[in-house]
Amino acid sequence: GALGGILYPRESEFRDLRSLDGIWQFRTENVSSQGTVNQWYMNRLTETGPTIPMPVPSSYNDVTLEKSLREYVGSVWYDRNFFVPNSWRQNGQRVWLRFGAAHYKAKVWVNGQEVLEHDIGHLPFEAEVTSSVLFGQENRITVELNNTLTPTTVPQGSVAVEQTLDGPKKIQQYTFDFFNYAGIDRPVVLYTTPAVFIDDITAHTDVIDTTGVVYFNMTYNGLGRIKTNVKCQVTILDAQNKPVGIDMVNDTTGAGFNGMVEIPDAKLWWPYLMDPNPGYLYTLEARITTTQSGVEIQDVYRLPFGIRTLHWDNTTFLINNKPVYMRGFGRHEDSDIRGKGLDLALVTKDYNLLKWVGANAYRTSHYPYAEEIMDFADREGIMIIDECPAVNADIYSDALLEKHKSSLTQMIQRDKNRPSVVIWSIANEPRSQHPQATAYFRSVAAHAKSLDPRRPITAAMMYGFSEDHSAQFLDIIGVNRYNAWYSDVGKLEVIQPKLVAEIEGWHQLHNKPVLVTEYGADTMPGLHIQPSYVWSEEYQADYSVEHFKAFDTLRQKSYFVGEMIWNFADFKTDQDIRRVGGNMKGIFTRQRQPKSVAFQVRRRYFHLAHEL
Ligand code: GCB
């Protein structure tokens, strides 16, 4: 719930789940606030004027032929009808409504009653709707969604008004380099919990010799004021669903259960290609049993988790006490037609490509990715640098700071139990040359640390180490660098000396591990120019090889912990003369076909995997 956990909705013997995905009705506003003023949530949207069918989950921008919808700024409205079965009305059972995400600011009504408000995209939100739904009858859900970005949203943007022949028109401006897709872009579900329900689980693990230790905290809610006895039980199941450990307590305080389970000869969670069986997952089965008004109430929630350790110091980054070198990508949630909408076929293909190319890591640039995407990373052993949506932070204010911290709170709350998440990224390319960046990032970093002291924090730097004011608060420093692209264009010979010198400079100044979080060259697939010339496949290949040489020099130093290509695949951006249908720095096209460099990256990544 709003103040408690945001556990991924899962069915169990005591929890039911219904998807609200599918075609909803949709319309834009002709003037701002039109929907609110006319109370569009009181009836079906079709009664307010013309609507169009809109898929959920999907971004709305690219599914029609209208330029005006692609570039729309303001509130759009969605609605649909759904049934709540009569069978859901039993023993005080609760009904919840959960959005995987919606961009950017959402307001939700059920049967005309406001149930939920949330802002910041890419993060889940939910509310209990038991008293708003009609059991055994048809119900209506209405969503107002506003994509406007301002100097105090995360990410930031600004709105300009241009005079056109049709009157004034709002233009959304932003400096970040990906399209500001909007819509209900992740799944929407209704689910039930018993009256007394497991609200949150926090687990972390340690390894002592060959024994895995699982420390957990499980909280429940819904008891009301009378604190009756609640039997809490946690069973750990292995990947074959065999119980391997158990702990229980009779809680009479309502506070929940802090416990520990030891697992002899534990199978550890390893990154891809570091073990024959990477991504090994156990299940933490949490169970509560209590009695209310003479009726027994039980709840069960099953959380997948991995057993691994994470350590870092000034020169190393270790998983299960082995030094780890990250090889991977910056990425985007992005594809034709659906934009940032979750598409399981695309997600599956992307993981098959990641494994094909031998990557063991990526950064969720520049916002938290869908939970279904993160599930794959847990299962496949892909290490994640989990990034909050603060991209290109500039014009620092208290209001921005609060939003930025809130995005971290929500992201960490969502992803805290994932073994794949090995680093939190608190920002991408902050304008950290401003003196105000010092106080701002001190506060942001302290906030992230207070929420999770067990994972290191990073940020991807744009400014050089002599100008930057933010890296002093990080554990690991990420560097985005475009030598021979945005600077010294075409001069491949500068890459090695400049990159090596700069990375050494960062390490010397801060005495911290460093990785390259971005380097890349825009490449038009099929453009061949030899000797290599910018935008050709040959240039992307030569540019990469020069970086590989620089990385090999840097790998002699233990503090250099990873290389990530910008980008995994081509992706859409705002219109810009430097962009051809979008950013073309992918080693795969937007349709996930390889450019020539992909075969070179594959050779390197497998070589690195087997050498280390
Ligand atoms: C960057 C940004 C990324 C851009 C990239 C580029 O440094 O972090 O969002 O897409 O450069 O290609 O310009």
Q: What is the pLDDT of residue 1?
A: 43
Average pLDDT score over residue span 298-316: 97
- Give the percent of the chain with pLDDT over 90: 96
pLDDT band at 611 (very low <50, low <70, confident <90, very high): confident
Secondary structure (DSSP) of 381-434: T-EEEEE-S-BS--S--HHHHHHHHHHHHHHHHHHTT-TTEEEEEEEES--TTS
pLDDT at 225 over 90: no
Q: Using most ligand atoms within 8 A of CB, pick from 387, 429, 458 the residue to mutate for ligand 1.
A: 429
Q: Using most ligand atoms within 8 A of CB, pick from 334, 425, 480, 587 the residue to mutate for ligand 1.
A: 480
CB atoms within 10 A of CB 23: 11
What is the number of residues in the chain?
612
Q: Which residues pair with 319 in a beta bridge?
A: 310, 322
Supply the residue whose CA is at minimum distance from atom 5 of ligand 1: 177
pLDDT per residue over 330-371, tens digit each?
Answer: 999 999 999 999 999 999 999 999 999 999 999 999 999 999
Q: Determine contact, residues 171/1, Cβ cutoff 8 Å.
A: no
Q: What is the pLDDT of residue 414?
A: 98
CA 78 to centroid of ligand 1, rounded, Å: 32
pLDDT at 6 over 50: yes
pLDDT at 226 over 80: no
Burial 95-106, CB ≥16 within 10 A → b, else e? bbbbbbbbbbbb
As a whole number of angstroms, the distance between CA 120 and CA 138 comes to 30
Supply the residue whose CA is at minimum distance from atom 10 of ligand 1: 177
Q: What is the pLDDT of residue 224?
A: 81
Average pLDDT score over residue span 550-555: 98
Q: What is the pLDDT of residue 338?
A: 98
Supply the residue whose CA is at minimum distance from atom 6 of ligand 1: 177
Q: What is the pLDDT of residue 228?
A: 87
Secondary structure (DSSP) of 58-101: S-STTSSS-HHHHT--SEEEEEEEEEE-GGG-STT-EEEEEES-
Q: Which helix (H) or strand (E) holds 211?
A: strand 211-221
Q: What is the pLDDT of residue 28?
A: 98
Indicate the average pLDDT of the chain.
97
pLDDT at 38 over 80: yes
Please confirm whether the linkage preceding 85 is cis (ω < 30° from 0): no
Burial 205-237, CB ≥16 within 10 A → b, else e? bebeeeebbbebebbbbbbeeeeeebebbbbbb
Average pLDDT score over residue span 471-477: 98
Collapsed DSSP state (helix, strand, coil) of residue 210: coil
pLDDT at 612 over 70: no
Distances (CA, A) of 338 to 51, 343, 567: 19, 8, 19
Dig out the tokens for 408 from the structure: 């971290």
pLDDT per residue over 424-463, tens digit each?
Answer: 999 999 999 999 999 999 999 999 999 999 999 999 999 9
CA 177 to centroid of ligand 1, rounded, Å: 6
Q: What is the pLDDT of residue 3?
A: 53
Please give the DSSP secondary-structure letter assigned to residue 124: -
As a whole number of angstroms, the distance between CA 187 and CA 201 comes to 22
Average pLDDT score over residue span 382-411: 97
The catalytic residue positions are: 429
Q: Determine contact, residues 421/455, Cβ cutoff 8 Å.
A: yes
Supply the residue whose CA is at minimum distance from atom 7 of ligand 1: 480
- Tell which atom from ligand 1 comes closest to the C-alpha of 429: 8
Q: Determine contact, residues 170/73, Cβ cutoff 8 Å.
A: yes
| Type of residue numbered 252 | T
pLDDT per residue over 496-543, tens digit each?
Answer: 999 999 999 999 999 999 999 999 999 999 999 999 999 999 999 999
CB atoms within 10 A of CB 137: 11
Quote the pTM value.
0.98
pLDDT at 22 over 60: yes
CA 331 to centroid of ligand 1, rounded, Å: 11
CA 219 to centroid of ligand 1, rounded, Å: 41
Q: Which helix (H) or strand (E) holds 226?
A: none
Phi, psi for 114 (deg, rounded to 5): -70, 130
